[in-house]
Amino acid sequence: MEKNLDRYIRDHSTPEDKVLEDLYRQTNLYVVNPNMVSGHIQGKLLEMLSHMIHPSVIVEIGTYTGYSAICLSRGLKTGGKLHTIEINDELREMSSRYFDLAGVSDKVILHTGRAQDVVPALNFIFDLVFIDGDKREYCEYYNLVFEKVRKGGFIIADNVLWGGKIENEDAMNDPQTRGVINFNELIRNDSRVEKILLALRDGLMIIRKK
């Protein structure tokens, strides 16, 4: 039943283009932990949100193979830039190749390193941040970017439902689950922002700085 619904959703959404389809396939064939890639429906939502926000500057934490970066970059203002940060230098060749194939390499700046080291060196205001790095570090990323996000700007965080494990008390023993739960509580109690938790894929938290 759910599979049919998934197909219905895909059939009534703009199809994945050839470059993203190929990137998704190559990621699944050749890269470790391919379940981390955004994929068609989440990618399309990120692209839509980016078009709505129409940002000049996007910062992404966790490039992986570049799928979400390509989607988000499509909503940038002319001359706008997406800074994407990836700690694993082995992924650089693949993501760069797909930025070229997708025709976005002139607006995507790939930083290889830890977000904790790179973000402090980005001396400009962010319109949109996508948090999709190590779940244990979500609170750290949020605190790191917050002052650099403009008033009215957005922070989107992926995997905030963490496969449903956030509901399981025992799961607090697992550092990644604890990271996601702590992040969700931090956002819930932060009166400086408005937020909506969307139950799409593994959960997307959309946060707007008041």
Ligand X SMILES: C[S@@+](CC[C@H](N)C(=O)[O-])C[C@H]1O[C@@H](n2cnc3c(N)ncnc32)[C@H](O)[C@@H]1O
Q: Which is nearer to ligand X, 127 or 137 (CB)?
A: 137
**123 token code pair:** 């001396």
Of the two residues 18 and 194, which places its CB atom closer to ligand X in the complex? 18
Closer by beta carbon to ligand X, 114 or else 178: 114
Q: Which residue ranges make up the site for ligand X (CB under 6 A)?
A: 36-38, 61-62, 64, 67-68, 85-88, 114-116, 132-134, 137
CB of 33 to ligand X, least distance (A): 8
Measured distance CA(69)–CA(132) in Å, rounded = 11
Amino acid at 38: S
Report which residue's Cβ sits closest to ligand X.
Answer: 62
Q: Which is nearer to ligand X, 1 or 199 (CB)?
A: 199
Q: Least CB distance from residue 151 to ligand X, whole Å? A: 26
The secondary structure element, H or E, covering residue 4 is helix 2-11
Rounded to the nearest whole angstrom, what is the least distance from the CB of residue 168 to ligand X in the complex?
A: 21
Provide the minimum distance between the beta carbon of 4 and ligand X in the complex, in angstroms, as a whole number. 25
Amino acid at 125: I
CA-to-CA distance for 180 and 182, rounded, in angstroms?
5
CA gap 156, 151 in Å, rounded: 15
Element (H, E) at 75: none
